[in-house]
Amino acid sequence: MERVAGLDDESAEWLRLLDPSAADHRAGLDRLHERLLRIARAEVRRRTARIVGPEVDDLAHQAAADAMLAILAKRDTFRGESRFTTWAYRFVILEVSSKLGRHFWRNPPAPLDDEQWERLPDRLGVDPHEHAEARHLAEVVRAAVDETLTEHQRSVFVEVVLHGVPLDALCARDGVTRSAVYKTVFDARRKIRAALVANGYLDPSVRQEESS
């Protein structure tokens, strides 16, 4: 394996261990896997209280195994821009994210057939005392959504913003990337804001930075 220049000792040692020609390669793999598993378990627990007992372990084992495969397949792309462990741990964190996204649908909240616009103020953290303004706000946003969003933007906005479906859960269900879902919501936010500034509901003095 190509030697990465300027590497710290610990990272260099990990790269040496992951080289299949190393005498202690097998032990190195075990050590890395053990760490990934410990991180995956902690990460599942940190993120959700909805998963308990043996399911935590199942999920953590899958995440650690998949991260291990990714690390071994991509180790030659490690360029020493970070410590090796930081680079490697990223894989297991991303695996936990995507597995939790899939897991969401095992026990999803009750299906929401209607668009529940009255939830919007709450989702934005509006003080419950502001009833009247909250109702008005939900109405003007809904009108802006009707006027400006495409069908696709609208359905993603409703699921993510109104119904609180996690981005990674949508990705798992629809087979799209987190980046694509984020961009859809980003564009929707920008268009809704432009409409609400144009009709005078929002103050244009807080400058809308243009994008794309």
C-alpha pair distances (Å), 141 with each of 44, 123, 126, 135: 35, 13, 14, 10
CA geometry: angle 144, 154, 100, nearest 5 deg: 135
Kindly report the number of other CB atoms within 10 A of residue 203's CB atom: 8
15 contributes a contact to another protein by CB under 8 A: no
117's contact among another protein, Zn ion, none, with CB below 5 to 8 A by partner kind, is: none
96's contact among Zn ion, another protein, none, with CB below 5 to 8 A by partner kind, is: another protein
C-alpha pair distances (Å), 53 with each of 45, 49, 59, 153, 171: 10, 10, 11, 38, 26
12 contributes a contact to another protein by CB under 8 A: no
199 contributes a contact to another protein by CB under 8 A: no
Out of 57, 124, 152, 174, name the contact with another protein by CB under 8 A.
124
The Cα 7–Cα 75 span in angstroms is 14
38 contributes a contact to another protein by CB under 8 A: yes
Out of 33, 83, 102, 163, name the contact with another protein by CB under 8 A.
83
Place of tokens 């794309």: 212
Binding footprint of another protein on the chain (CB under 8 A): 38-39, 41-43, 46-47, 81-83, 85-87, 89-90, 92-94, 96-97, 121, 124-127, 130, 133-134, 137, 141, 166-168, 177-179, 182-183, 186, 189-190, 192-193, 196, 201-203, 206, 208-211
